[in-house]
Amino acid sequence: DAGVIQSPRHEVTEMGQEVTLRCKPISGHNSLFWYRQTMMRGLELLIYFNNNVPIDDSGMPEDRFSAKMPNASFSTLKIQPSEPRDSAVYFCASSLRRENNEQFFGPGTRLTVL
């Protein structure tokens, strides 16, 4: 298995632009998680899905952030409009179940908003 795949690996954009991050979980996993990592705040859980259904989005910082999972093999995290303070590394992870199971992380997307 190729593991969790994220694209793009790096994204540089200007303030106000729309940004879309993509994730393909490991085949057969039914839970998917989006995290954000910054030096100041560490690793934060933004949202997670179970069987393609959003379960908890309380970590999503603002309405500018949205996430979708149209099918079991694809998820997107969208920021619109982007702001410099959104600059961070965004990780996607997947697991067999949402609780108690180890999560497998993708390599991350490094986002820079100028």
Partner 1 sequence: AQSVTQLDSHVSVSEGTPVLLRCNYSSSYSPSLFWYVQHPNKGLQLLLKYTSAATLVKGINGFEAEFKKSETSFHLTKPSAHMSDAAEYFCVVTGNTPLVFGKGTRLSVIA
Contacts to partner 1 by CB under 8 A: 4, 31, 33, 42-43, 45, 48, 56, 91, 93, 98-100, 102-108
The count of other CB atoms within 10 Å of the CB of residue 63 is 7
Q: Output 30 or 81, the one with its CB closest to partner 1.
A: 30
Q: Which distant-in-sequence residues (6+ apart) come within 8 Å of 70 by Cβ?
A: 52
Q: Output 74 or 105, the one with its CB closest to partner 1.
A: 105
Nearest distance from C-beta of residue 72 to partner 1, angstroms: 18
Nearest distance from C-beta of residue 37 to partner 1, angstroms: 9
Q: Are 45 and 32 in contact (CB under 8 A)?
A: no
